């Protein structure tokens, strides 16, 4: 069949092939994205035990979490609640800041119930090898400087990199990366302080999965 000089059947066949290919690619992309997301979450759960000593909790962290809105971030963070014999013992915030030099930096920030930093670890980033990647604990001890800190120690005006006159060391040639992590840790502390009661009282969102 032809319409004018245009063959309809071959064109229709090509259109159907194109549509089928688009649907297939969309399905593969969704499947791949889901697998990547699950793998990333699994790595986060495995890292939880590295930011928090096992003697500090005896509940199942993966099943005890809620969400925490952090000012300045695009989406809520997940906050895991560690309990020892049923009592709050620590909170671990899984957040992503978009302020890195090369894009997103995903962090775990472990806090005491009183909002003092226990430890911080980097889960994912795309920072420059040999420079910004020193935010990783396996690359340097830079990330350890947050342990024991709170919103009053150092005081608010000193929650900045040394390059900006603050209390935290700046990684050489990685000022933007340093600032991004410092800012993210401070924001997580503020968010937890502002929502502390709700964090511990909210039902676990894992129950609805």
Residue 150's domain comprises: 53-208
Q: Is the peptide bond prior to 154 cis by the omega test (within 30 degrees of 0)?
A: yes
Query: Alpha-carbon dihedral of residues 13, 18, 23, 28, nearest 10 degrees?
Result: 130
In whole angstroms, give the CA distance from residue 75 to residue 34.
18
Q: Specify the pLDDT at position 102.
A: 97
CB 181 within 8 A of CB 105: yes
Decide which of 17 and 6 is more confident: 17
- Residue 20 located in a structural domain: no
How confident is the model over 109-136, as a mean pLDDT?
97
70, 79, 117, 199, 204 from 67: Cα distances, Å: 10, 6, 19, 8, 9
Q: Specify the pLDDT at position 28.
A: 62
Number of domains in the chain: 1
- Residue 10 located in a structural domain: no
The answer on pLDDT for 142 being more than 70 is yes
How confident is the model over 179-188, as a mean pLDDT?
98
- Which helix (H) or strand (E) element contains residue 181? helix 175-194
- 52-61, 64-73, 118-127, 147-156, range with the lowest pLDDT: 52-61
Q: Is the peptide bond prior to 68 cis by the omega test (within 30 degrees of 0)?
A: no
pLDDT band at 35 (very low <50, low <70, confident <90, very high): confident
Planar angle of CA 126, 127, 131, nearest 5 degrees: 155
Tally of CA atoms within 13 A in the half-sphere of 37 that contains its CB: 6
The answer on pLDDT for 62 being more than 80 is yes
Q: Specify the pLDDT at position 2.
A: 53
- Residue 125 located in a structural domain: yes
Q: Specify the pLDDT at position 26.
A: 64
pLDDT tens digits along 163-173: 999 999 999 99
- Residue 28 located in a structural domain: no
Decide which of 125 and 50 is more confident: 125
Q: Specify the pLDDT at position 129.
A: 96
As beta bridge partners, residue 103 has: 100
- Residue 188 located in a structural domain: yes
- Residue 159 located in a structural domain: yes
The answer on pLDDT for 148 being more than 90 is yes
- Residue 9 located in a structural domain: no
Q: Specify the pLDDT at position 46.
A: 74
Q: Specify the pLDDT at position 29.
A: 62
In whole angstroms, give the CA distance from residue 188 to residue 199.
13
- Residue 47 located in a structural domain: no
Q: Specify the pLDDT at position 74.
A: 85
pLDDT band at 161 (very low <50, low <70, confident <90, very high): very high
The answer on pLDDT for 98 being more than 80 is yes
Q: Is 172 helix (H, G, I), strand (E, B) or coil?
A: coil
């Amino acid at each position: 069949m032809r319409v004018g000089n245009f063959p309809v059947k071959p064109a229709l066949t090509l259109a159907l092939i194109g549509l089928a290919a688009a649907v297939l690619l969309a399905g593969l992309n969704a499947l791949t994205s889901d697998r990547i997301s699950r793998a990333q979450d699994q790595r986060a759960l495995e890292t939880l035990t590295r930011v928090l000593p096992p003697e500090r909790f005896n509940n199942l962290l993966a099943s005890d979490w809620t969400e925490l809105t952090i000012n300045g971030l695009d989406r809520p963070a997940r906050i895991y609640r560690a309990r020892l014999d049923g009592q709050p013992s620590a909170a671990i915030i899984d957040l992503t800041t978009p302020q890195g030099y090369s894009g997103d930096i995903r962090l775990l920030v472990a806090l005491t119930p009183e909002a003092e930093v226990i430890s911080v670890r980097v889960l994912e980033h795309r920072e420059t090898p040999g420079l910004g990647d020193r935010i990783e604990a396996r690359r340097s001890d830079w990330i350890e400087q947050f342990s024991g800190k709170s919103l009053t120690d150092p005081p608010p005006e000193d929650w900045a990199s040394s390059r900006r006159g603050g209390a935290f060391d700046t990684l050489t040639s990685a000022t933007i990366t340093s600032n991004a992590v410092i800012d993210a840790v401070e924001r997580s502390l503020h968010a937890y302080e502002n929502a502390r009661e709700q964090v511990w009282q909210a039902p676990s969102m894992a129950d609805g999965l």
